[in-house]
């Protein structure tokens, strides 16, 4: 079946630290991959996406590269800020007709000043 | 993007009662979905809301427990029936916009239900 596995949380870093949140997936066919972010008290927002192998999604200083050979889509940021504190969800979509998303378990990130 | 309004944003309910959650979108959408996010858990798809016909439910979810309506393109309701404490969750409406990119979904802020 289709599934997403994320790095266990919570993750706590100091401001300006380097961030990596690991995400690996299992899918039939050729999925599109996404990172969604949920800030405290808000709904989910799309952070970035990649629709085919070797694509790199980027937004707000975050990056993730679609690695078919390792079935991974790790989220990285070179220098995190306090405002990046949120829950991050990796997700995939394999059924283009229905556009359903399968989510990972989420990783809570806290950035301390 | 789109503005997705959910009501209520939160509620405290008694065991055995039912509650209907509304989702209104300000843009034309092609697909509408309902997700559940249990405390400390990820999001699980409940069903796809189909306009003018019965919703398509995922494994483990049934119409008697989670009846869904979608009378037009931009509005849907989810009812959580005969609630128990295990139904305490955040319920999220999600949409794919007409002309939107492959796979990208937009989410409402969710409806946080606590069942006593």
Q: Which residues of chain B have pLDDT under 70?
A: 100-103
Beta bridge partners of B4: B25
- Decide the pairing of beta strands A107-112 and B10-13: unpaired
Helix (H) or strand (E) holding A92: strand A86-93
Residue A101, min C-alpha distance to chain B (Å): 7
Interface test with A, best of B10, B34, B38, B42 (most A CBs within 10 A): B42
List, for residues A5-60, the tens digit of each pLDDT value: 998 889 999 999 999 999 999 998 888 999 999 998 888 899 999 988 999 999 99
Cβ count near B52 (within 10 Å): 9
Q: What is the CA radius of gyration of chain A?
A: 14
Q: How far is it, in rounded angstroms, from Cα A106 to Cα A21?
A: 10
Selecting from A43, A96, A105 the residue whose C-beta is nearest the C-beta of B109 gives: A43
């Amino acid at each position: 079946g289709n599934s997403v596995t994320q790095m266990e949380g919570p993750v706590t870093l100091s401001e300006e630290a380097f961030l990596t949140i690991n995400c690996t997936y299992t899918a039939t066919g050729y999925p599109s991959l996404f990172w969604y972010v949920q800030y405290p008290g808000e709904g989910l927002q799309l952070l970035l996406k990649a629709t085919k192998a070797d694509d790199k999604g980027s937004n707000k200083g975050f990056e993730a590269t679609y690695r078919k050979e390792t079935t991974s889509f790790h989220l990285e940021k070179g220098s995190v800020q306090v405002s990046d504190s949120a829950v991050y969800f990796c997700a995939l979509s394999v059924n283009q007709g229905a556009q359903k998303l399968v989510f990972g378990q989420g990783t809570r990130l806290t950035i301390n000043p | 993007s789109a503005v997705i309004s959910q009501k209520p944003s939160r509620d405290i309910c008694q065991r055995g009662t039912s509650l209907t959650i509304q989702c209104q979108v300000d843009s034309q959408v092609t697909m509408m979905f309902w997700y559940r996010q249990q405390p400390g858990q990820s999001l699980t798809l409940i069903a796809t809301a189909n306009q003018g016909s019965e919703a398509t439910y995922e494994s483990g979810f049934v119409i008697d427990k989670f009846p869904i309506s979608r009378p037009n393109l931009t509005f849907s309701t989810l009812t959580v029936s005969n609630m128990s404490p295990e139904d305490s969750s955040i319920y999220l409406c999600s949409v794919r916009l007409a002309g939107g990119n492959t796979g990208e979904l937009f989410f409402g802020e969710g409806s946080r239900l606590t069942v006593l």
